[in-house]
Homo-oligomer: A and B are copies of this chain.
Amino acid sequence: MRILARLGIIAGGGDLPRAVAQSIRADGGEVFVIGLAGSLGESDIWVRDFPHEMISVGAPGQAFRSLRRENVTEVLLAGKVDRPNFSDLKLDMKGITLLPRALKAARQGDDALLRFLVTMFEEEGLRALSVAEAAPGLVCAEGPLGRLTPDDDHRADMERGFAIVRSLGALDVGQAAAVCEGLALAVEAAEGTDRMIDRIATLRPALRGTPGHKLGVLVKALKPTQDAKTDMPVIGVATVDRAAAAGLAGIGLQAGGALIVDKAAVAARADALGLFVMGVTL
């Protein structure tokens, strides 16, 4: 196992940064968390369990100074980062310097913006790690996670779903899609995976399954353009709940290209609700 020096976690919202911090601590590593004010929600009180500081995305200078003070040389970006409203952003000096490049990157899409953030840390002499490097236990492995496995129809739907996600991903659009008996039920763009799953239940019943008669699959995969250091697709227990409520029969994930927060809990929930969760090598 890799022995980690003190790692800086640049933490957005959601469960992933918490799972990363806990995984590293469980592996004997130390972390310093920079919570992104505005992206971390009220419920993200987990940061209090770790040495941390809350910083605005407009104040990268403050973040760099804190990381130097804490002797952090490696950083990791995790969690959902709200695209800032650049015109309202309060900027420190470093922020003013970096803004033109940030705006240019933002115009090219989310991936370009995230790649810019990684580059920004690297230019300050910090090494950027991926979640896969720092917390390998969160990475999806090949094969089923719980007891259930996909049948031939599910496999065909997964294959079509992965083709859609890879094609969309190459254009930096989204990393999730849902397919039911060959029909693309929903494709993810700016609304995110949760809302994409939720709208499946609003489609006409003839097109989709129900919690009592499950049909179709959700798939998530890394965008081909995507730097694994930034925004790997991620699922957790809530994703399984949503997929079940949408009448889906299972979830297909790119093995080595997706993260699972709280694997044991995800497997247990999938078993309880009658869904498969499957890692597939693309």
Contact = CB atoms under 8 A, between A and B. Distances in A.
Interface of A: 82-85, 106-110, 160, 163-164, 167-168, 170-174, 177-178, 181-191, 195, 199, 202-207
Contact of A84 (B84, B85, B187, B206): B206
A101 to B, nearest CB: 15
Contacts of A187: 168, 173-174, 187-189
Given A82-B206, A84-B206, A167-B168, A191 B182 contact: no
Contacts of A109: 182-184
30 contacts: A82-B204, A82-B206, A83-B204, A83-B206, A84-B206, A85-B205, A106-B181, A106-B182, A108-B182, A109-B183, A109-B184, A110-B183, A164-B171, A164-B173, A167-B167, A167-B170, A167-B171, A168-B168, A168-B187, A173-B184, A173-B187, A178-B189, A185-B189, A185-B190, A186-B189, A186-B191, A187-B188, A191-B199, A191-B203, A195-B199
Contacts of A189: 177-178, 184-187
Given A109-B184, A187-B187, 9 more contacts: A106-B181, A108-B182, A109-B183, A164-B168, A167-B167, A171-B184, A174-B187, A177-B189, A183-B190
Nearest to A153: B107
A165 B160 CA distance: 17
Contact of A190 (B84, B106, B108, B186): B186
Contacts of A188: 187
Contacts of A204: 82-83
